[in-house]
Amino acid sequence: MISHLLDTNAVISFTGRKSDALVRRVLGKAKGSIGLSSVVAFELYFGALKSARIEYNLETVRLILADFPILDFDQNDAFVAGEIRAALAAKGTPIGPYDLLIAGQAKARGLTLVTNNTREFSRVENLQLEDWSL
What the chain holds in terms of domains, given with CATH numbers, is 4-130 (3.40.50.1010)
Which segments within 4-111 are labelled E, that is strand? 4-6, 34-37, 70-71
Find out whether 72 is annotated in a ligand binding site.
Answer: no
State what percent of residues in the chain have pLDDT above 90: 96
Do residues 116 and 133 lie in contact, with contact meaning Cβ atoms separated by under 8 Å? yes
Residue partners of 14: CB distance under 8 A and separation at least 6:
6, 22, 23, 26
The pLDDT assigned to 18 comes to 87
The string of pLDDT tens digits covering residues 79-115 is 999 999 999 999 999 999 999 999 999 999 999 999 9
DSSP 130: E
**Is residue 99 a known part of a binding site?**
yes
Amino acid at 96: G
